[in-house]
């Protein structure tokens, strides 16, 4: 992540130097993610995904008990919290006993961030990441180097099911800003040569830029596209509405970060003419699932256990996650705010892991700009919310956006500045910004928090 000085310097660079800058940052990420430990973990995961139900259960029981004891002994929050709730760790013998532990909410972590770091590690030597996901509660997450390697090995294990490797060329539909809003002529993408990827600016996808984007896609080959499905859908819809075609197609499109409807997925599949797959995960590394060849989500049992409980008699169930892939900051019985539909029968792919047919509740609205762009990935704005308990973007009018904020006692005017800055980077200056400080933000009928709401017709 760039600091303010390097970001301003980057924006002044010409296109070739920006590609070099993006690539150098990509080299740093590559060394961090894909070292020898990553390769070892990936090969091990490719074997363990075929374990028997007995082996899976044994693995989960052993590791769940280990992480609970580790958390109680080294993480200040869990020590005091479990004592307060009268938890007797001797009575936690297997994953079925996890229900005797209290459920962890995001706001607990937000209020006590330092209390969640294990005393077994020096904070300065951990890797820090900001996240808000789709819950509107910004968090700092600290990970070990081994956790980063395992997390990316899990990601690539899911992609390997479809023949993809870390060497494949891919087009990234992310939420970061490789191209500023002041840049109104192509190219609207930047190259990360060390990771063999091109980062397209999703904030520049519009009717005006469409001819340039289509020309670029038809002149360059990519093994796969990956990123926000909402951004890919926006591009696909523009292509269809303007009666354009993509001839140079990738092998597959990999969804991640948010969710879209089945009809939107079908439009993407029709426009690009390739298979789709999806991966579910989060920075907290509390639980992950990846599609198999039969489009079922398989729980990555090697580092997590996912409970589910019925809500209002519907098929969709609340997900509660326990992860043991990151000893520096473990998440135990974590309510991430998402829902899923479990499948009781075995998957025909042959894997014996628990499966879900769908992950629900991550779908967010677009922010529509006056010049017709549809902005996605607003979690990259919300994660800059400082001294807030919850935060939501609400667009009622085309030329205005509202930040609904549940502040903590330290919130002040200066805390608005990074939110304004990050929103302006993506949306430009045509939309007025309004701040509403509230006691609570209304949830959906299922109790789900929506971080982005738009009342603008799409």
Residue 233: give its domain's CATH number: 3.40.50
- Encode 243-262: b = buried (16+ Cβ within 10 Å), e = exposed: ebebeebbbbbbbbbbbbee
Question: What is the per-residue pLDDT across 195-207, written as a single tens digit (0 to 9) for each?
Answer: 999 999 999 999 9
pLDDT at 183: 86
User: Do 44 and 28 share a domain, yes or no?
Assistant: no
Same domain, 27 and 41: no
Q: What is residue 74's predicted lDDT score, i.e. its pLDDT?
A: 98
Domain end among 274, 300, 331:
274
Note the pLDDT tens digit of each residue in 20-64: 999 999 999 999 999 999 999 999 999 999 999 999 999 999 999
Can you state the angle between helices 15-33 and 145-160, rounded to 10 degrees?
100
Q: Are residues 309 and 173 in the same domain?
A: no
295 and 326 both lie in a single domain: yes
The overall pTM is greater than 0.95: no
Q: Same domain, yes or no, for 343 and 211?
A: no
Q: pLDDT at position 216, please?
A: 97
How far from the centroid of its chain's Cα atoms is residue 39's Cα? Answer: 23
**154/300 Cα distance (integer angstroms):** 7
pLDDT value at position 311?
A: 67
Output the pLDDT for position 136: 55
Structure tokens at 445: 């009928």
Domain that holds residue 249: 4-33+163-274
Domain identity same for 65 and 43: yes
Confidence at residue 360, expressed as pLDDT on a 0 to 100 scale: 74
Q: Kindly report the CATH number assigned to the domain that includes residue 325.
A: 3.40.50.12780
Which stretches of 52-144 are DSSP H helices? Answer: 53-74, 76-84, 106-111
**Is 323 in the same domain as 178?**
no
Instruction: Decide if 98 contacts 63 (C-beta within 8 A).
Output: no
Tell me what pLDDT residue 139 has: 82
The pLDDT of residue 134 is: 52
Low-confidence ranges of the chain (pLDDT < 70): 1-3, 132-137, 311-315, 361-364, 443-449, 457-458
Paired tokens of 250: 């990738």
Residues 74 and 55 in one domain: yes
Cα(134)–Cα(337) distance, rounded to whole angstroms?
8
Q: Identify each DSSP E strand in 218-263 by its residue range.
A: 224-227, 252-255
- Pair 305, 60: CB distance under 8 Å: yes
Residue 416: CATH number of its domain: 3.30.300
Same domain, 373 and 418: yes
* Domain boundary, last residue among 274, 293, 326: 274
CB-based contact 79:330 (threshold 8 Å): no
* End residue of a domain, out of 344, 360, 376: 360
Indicate whether 339 and 449 sit together in one domain.
no
Residues 6+ apart with CB under 8 A from 136: 382, 385, 390, 391, 392, 441, 449, 451
Which pLDDT score is estimated for 249? 96
64 and 151 share one domain? yes
User: What are the structure tokens assigned to 99, written together?
Assistant: 């229900």
**Half-sphere exposure of residue 265, counting CA atoms within 13 Å on the CB side?**
17
Report the distance separating Cα 67 and Cα 345, nearest Å: 29
The Cα-based distances of 395 to 57, 109, 341 in angstroms read 46, 28, 30
User: pLDDT at position 131, please?
Assistant: 75
If asked whether residues 262 and 355 sit together in one domain, one would say no
pLDDT at 445: 54
Residue 388: C-alpha distances to residues 394, 415, 419 (Å) = 16, 9, 11
**Looking at the 3D structure of the chain, how many domains does it have?**
3
């Amino acid at each position: 992540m760039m600091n303010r000085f390097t970001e301003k310097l980057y924006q002044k660079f010409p296109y070739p130097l920006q590609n070099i800058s993006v690539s150098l940052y990509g080299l740093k990420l590559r060394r961090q993610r894909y070292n020898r430990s990553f390769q070892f973990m990936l090969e091990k995961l490719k074997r363990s995904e075929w374990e028997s139900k007995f082996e899976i259960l044994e693995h989960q029981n052993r590791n769940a008990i280990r992480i609970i004891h580790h958390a109680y002994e080294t993480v200040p929050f869990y020590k005091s919290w479990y004592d307060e709730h009268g938890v007797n760790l001797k009575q936690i013998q297997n994953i079925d006993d996890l229900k005797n532990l209290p459920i962890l909410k995001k706001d607990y972590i937000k209020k006590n961030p330092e209390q969640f770091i294990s005393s077994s590690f020096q904070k300065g030597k951990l890797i820090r990441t900001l996240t808000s996901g789709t819950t509107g509660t910004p968090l700092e997450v600290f990970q070990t180097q081994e956790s980063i390697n395992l997390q990316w090995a899990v990601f690539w294990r899911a992609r390997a099911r479809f023949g993809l490797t870390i060497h494949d060329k891919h087009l990234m539909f992310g939420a970061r800003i490789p191209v500023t809003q002041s840049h109104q002529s192509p190219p609207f993408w930047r190259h990360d040569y060390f990771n063999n990827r091109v980062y397209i600016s999703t904030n520049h996808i519009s009717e005006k830029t469409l001819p340039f984007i289509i020309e670029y896609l038809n002149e360059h080959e990519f093994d796969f596209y990956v990123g926000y499905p909402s951004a890919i859908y926006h591009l696909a819809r523009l292509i269809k509405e303007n009666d354009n075609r993509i001839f140079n197609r990738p092998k597959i499109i990999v969804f991640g970060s948010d969710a879209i409807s089945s009809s939107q997925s079908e439009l993407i599949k029709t426009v690009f003419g390739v298979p789709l797959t999806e991966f579910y995960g989060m920075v907290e590394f509390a639980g992950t699932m990846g599609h198999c060849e039969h489009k079922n989500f398989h729980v990555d049992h090697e580092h997590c256990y996912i409970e589910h409980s019925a809500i209002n008699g519907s098929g969709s169930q609340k997900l509660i996650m326990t992860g043991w892939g990151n000893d520096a900051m473990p998440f135990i019985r974590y309510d991430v705010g998402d829902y899923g539909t479990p499948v009781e029968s075995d998957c025909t792919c042959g894997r014996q892991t628990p499966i879900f047919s769908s992950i629900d509740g991550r779908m967010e609205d677009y922010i529509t700009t006056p010049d017709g762009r549809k902005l996605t990935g607003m979690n990259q704005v919300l994660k800059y919310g400082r001294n807030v308990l919850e935060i939501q973007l609400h667009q009622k009018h085309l030329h205005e956006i509202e930040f609904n904020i549940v502040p903590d006692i330290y919130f002040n005017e200066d805390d608005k500045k990074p939110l304004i800055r990050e929103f302006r980077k993506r949306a430009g200056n045509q939309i007025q910004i309004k701040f509403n400080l509230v006691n609570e933000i209304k949830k959906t009928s299922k109790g789900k928090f929506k971080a982005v709401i738009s009342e603008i017709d799409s």
